[in-house]
Amino acid sequence: MTMVAASTSGSRAIKPLLAVLVLAIVVRLIYLWVYQSLPEWDQLTVDNNYHHHWAQSIADGNIIGDTTYFRAPFYVFCLGMLYSVFGISLWVGRIFGAAIGIVSVLMTFLLGRRIANARVGTVAAVIHAVYPIVLYFEAELLLDPLFTLLLQVALYRLLIWLETKKPGEALIVGLILGLAAITRPTVLVLVPPLLIAVIIFRRSIPKYVTQLALLVIGLGIVITPVFVRNLAVAGDPVLISSQGGINFYIGNNSKADGVSAVLPEPMGHNWQLSQIKFEAEQATGHNLKPGEISSYWALQGWQWIANNHSDFVMLYLEKLYRNFANRDISNNRDLKTFSEHHPILKYNPFCFAALLGFAVVGIILRRRNVSVQLVLWLILFYTTAGAFFFFSSRFRLPLLPYFFILASIGFSDFITTPHHKKKTIIYRGTIVAGITILSCLPLIPLPAGSAPYSNISVGLYHFARGNYTAALEHHQQSMLIDSTFPEVNLNVGACFLRLGDVDSARYYFEREIKFHPDLPKAYSNLASVSLIEGKLGEAIVLASQAVKLRPYDVTGHSLLLRSLFSDSSTGDFACLEAVHQAAKATGDDIYLLNEASVLLTERGMINAARETLAKAIKTTPPPIETDDEAFALIFRNSRDKFNLQRAKAFYQYGYLEGIGGNYGQSIQYSSKAIVLDSSLVEAYINLISAYISTGQSVKADSILKLSRKKFPTNLYFDKFK
C-alpha cells in the first residue's frame, strides 16, 4: 500500500470514529440535562452516597484515612480530587462519569478494530454510545464505568503485547490491571486464568514466563501501596479492601435471592457495617479488625455452601442465568420505573437479548480468532466468578463492550451475507431469534422479597428532606406491595409520628414488632411514642429492648437516656451509669454525649455534665471507610456537621463554667464554639455574659454590637444594657 493510500484509509477510519464520539458526547449531555430536571437527580442510592461523602472527606484533606479500606479506593480518590478542584457538586461527579464513558466508547472502537476491523469497531462504538444501561450507570456516582474502562484498556494492551511480544507491554498490562484492581478487586480473580490463557493460546511457556513475571510486577507496583497503607493505618494486612467477605456471604446465605443484598434476620435488607461487625465479634468472642470481619463472613458463606449443596447449586445457576437474561436489575432503584421518566432510556431500542443473539453468531464466525477466544475466556471467567456473589446489571457492565464487539461482528456478517445464501441467512437468523427469545423469557422470575425496596428508598429520601407527606405516600405504596416487608410498617409509623399522628404511629410500630420482633428500630420508635405519651415505664422497657438487640445503636441509647432522666423514680446514680454505658457502647458518639450533658445539667449533675462534655470535645469522627452514616443521604459525621457538634460541646462547657463562676474558662470555650459555628446564638450570649461578669465592658459591647447585627430578630440581646 502506498503512503497516499494508507493516508486515505486512515482518514476513512477516523471520520466515522469522530462522528461516533460526537454522538456519544451529545447523547450524554442531553441525558444529564434531562436527568437534572428529574426528582431522582439528588435521590442518591446508598453506594452513591458512600462514594459522594467519602470523596468529600478526601477533598477536605482526609487523604490517608483512619482504618482499612472497606471499598477499593481508586474511583473515590479520583472523585475526591475533582471535588477539591471544581467544588463539591453532583454535576462534577456525573460529568466525570460521562467523560469516562466517552473514553470507553473510544476504547470499544479500538478493541473492535483490533479484534476484527474498523467497521466492526465503528458499529460497536455506536451501540456503546447510546446503550441505555451504560448511560444510566455512567451518570451515577459509581465505580463501575471506571472499572469497565480500565478493563478495556488492559485487554487492548494485552492484545498489543501478544502481537509485539515486547516485555514493556507486559508491564503496562500489569500496571493497568493494578489500577483496575484498586477500583474493583474482583479483577484479580481473572489474573490466573488470563496467564493460563496466554500460555495456552501462544503455546510458548519459556518465552512468556519472564514477561508474565513483569505483568505480575506491574500489578504489585500499583497494589502494594494500598496494602502497605492498610497495614500502617489499621495494622490490618488487607490487600485492597475488606468488603469481599460480606459480599460473598450476601450471595451465599439462607436468605440469599441472587439479586439483592439481603442477609438473614435481624440484619435483613437494611444491614449496616456496625451490625456485621457486632455479629462477628459476638460469634468469635473478641474484637476484630475489618479484614478479620471479612474473613469471618467469607467463612460463613463457605459453611452455608458446604451444608446446603443443592440450594447453592440452584442459586448459583440462577445467578448465571441472570447474567445472560434480558432484564436489567439494580438492587437500589427500580430501573424500569426510572426509565419511564427519562426519554432517552424510555425510547431506546437497544436491549441485551438481541445483543446476546448477535454476539453468539459473532463468536461462531470468529471462533478461531485468538482475540475472540480471549474475549470469550474473559466473559466466561468473569461471569462464573461473579455468580458467587449476587447479580446486578452494574456488575455486568464491564462485559458489555465485548458483547457490543461480538454482536457487531455477527450483525456486520448478517447484513453483508449475499442474498443467494438463504440457508446461511436463515441459520444465523434462527440463532439470533432463538437466543433473543430465550433471553427475554422470564424463565426464572424475580424474587418478590425485594419488590418494595425502590419505593422505600424514595420514601427515605423525602423523609430525610423533611417532606413527611411525600415520604408517607411512598411508604404506603410499599405496603401495598408487601405489608410485612422489613421496616415498611416502621417507616409508615415514623412518618405519622413526624406529622403529629401519635396513635397511628403507635399502631404501625406495633405492627413492625409483630412481624419482625428482632428489629431494634421498632422498639426505639415505639419508645419515643411512649415517651411523648408520658408512659415512662413503658418507654424505658422498650428502649432497653432496643439497646439489648443492638447495643451499639445511638438512637436506642438516646431514647433510653431520655426515658430514664424523665422518670423521677430513677436515681442519679442509675442515670449516670446509663450515660457511661451508652458512651462506651457507641464509641463516645458526639451527638449522644452532647444530649447526655444537657440531661445531666437539667438534673443538676454539673460535674458529670462537665466530664461528659470533656469527652465530646476530645472525641473524633468514626473512620469514614466503615461509617454507616456515610451511606445515608444526610451524613451526620461529615466534617462540617461534626464541627457543629463540637461547637455545641464547647458552648455547653462554656455555659457550665459561667454558672460556676469560672468566667475565664467560659470566655475560652464560648470563643471556641463561635469559631466552629458562627451561627450559634447561645455561644454569643455566654461570651457577652462572661465579659460583663469580668468587667470587660468594651469587649462585651463589641460582641453585643456584632451579635445584634448578626441576629437582628433575636430580642434576647436587648436584655443586655
Q: Which pLDDT score, from 0 to 100, does residue 450 have?
A: 56
Residue 2 has pLDDT above 50, yes or no: no
pLDDT confidence bin for 5, thresholds 50/70/90: very low
Q: Which pLDDT score, from 0 to 100, does residue 191 have?
A: 87
In a domain, 650, yes or no: no
- Average pLDDT of every residue of the chain: 92
Cα distance between residue 450 and residue 410, in whole Å: 37
Q: CB 529: neighbour CB atoms within 10 A?
A: 22
Cα distance between residue 190 and residue 147, in whole Å: 13
pLDDT confidence bin for 420, thresholds 50/70/90: low
Across 300-313, average pLDDT: 96
Terminal-to-terminal C-alpha distance of the chain: 96
In a domain, 86, yes or no: yes
pLDDT digits (tens, 9 = 90+) for 338-367: 899 999 999 999 999 999 999 999 999 998
In a domain, 680, yes or no: no
pLDDT confidence bin for 421, thresholds 50/70/90: confident
Instruction: Identify the domain containing residue 401 by its residue range.
Output: 12-239+340-440
What does each C-alpha distance from 602 to 77, 184, 598 come to in angstroms? Answer: 45, 51, 6
CB 290 within 8 A of CB 626: yes
Q: Which pLDDT score, from 0 to 100, does residue 415 have?
A: 80
Of 129-143, 445-459, 621-635, 674-688, least confident by mean pLDDT is 445-459
Per-residue DSSP letter, 36: T
Pick from 413, 404, 328, 343: nearest CA to 126: 404
Pick from 193, 109, 107, 203: nearest CA to 155: 107
Q: Which pLDDT score, from 0 to 100, does residue 190 have?
A: 87
Cα distance between residue 394 and residue 183, in whole Å: 14
In a domain, 380, yes or no: yes
pLDDT digits (tens, 9 = 90+) for 154-198: 999 999 998 888 889 999 999 999 999 999 999 999 888 877 777
- SS3 string of 109-167? HHHHHHHCCHHHHHHHHHHHHHCHHHHHHHCCCCCHHHHHHHHHHHHHHHHHHHHHCCH
Tally of domains in the chain:
1
Residue 403 has pLDDT above 80, yes or no: yes
In a domain, 48, yes or no: yes
Of 162-171, 369-378, 417-426, 491-500, least confident by mean pLDDT is 417-426
Q: Which pLDDT score, from 0 to 100, does residue 419 have?
A: 66
Pick from 140, 97, 101, 112: nearest CA to 23: 101
Across 455-474, average pLDDT: 90
CB 404 within 8 A of CB 127: yes
Place of cell 435521590: 43
Pick from 670, 659, 657: nearest CA to 703: 670
Cα distance between residue 134 and residue 399, in whole Å: 11
Spell out the alpha helix ranges (H) of 369-501: 370-386, 393-396, 400-416, 422-440, 453-464, 468-481, 488-498
Residue 1 has pLDDT above 90, yes or no: no
In a domain, 235, yes or no: yes
Cα distance between residue 637 and residue 239, in whole Å: 27
The model carries a pTM of 0.93
Contacts of 73 (CB under 8 A, 6+ apart): 182, 226, 241
DSSP-assigned beta bridge partners for residue 268? 263
DSSP annotation string for 299-365: HHHHHHHHH-HHHHHHHHHHHHHHHHSS----SSS-HHHHHHH-HHHHT----HHHHHHHHHHHHHH
Q: Which pLDDT score, from 0 to 100, does residue 452 have?
A: 79
Residue 275 has pLDDT above 70, yes or no: yes
pLDDT digits (tens, 9 = 90+) for 191-245: 888 777 777 766 666 666 788 889 999 999 999 999 999 999 999 999 999 999 9
DSSP H or E stretch at residue 523? helix 520-532
Residue 511 has pLDDT above 50, yes or no: yes
Pick from 564, 563, 591: nearest CA to 577: 564
DSSP annotation string for 575-621: HHHHHHHHHHHTTS-HHHHHHHHHHHHHTT-HHHHHHHHHHHHH--P
Helix (H, G, I), strand (E, B) or coil at 263: strand
Helix (H, G, I), strand (E, B) or coil at 268: strand
In a domain, 164, yes or no: yes
In a domain, 454, yes or no: no
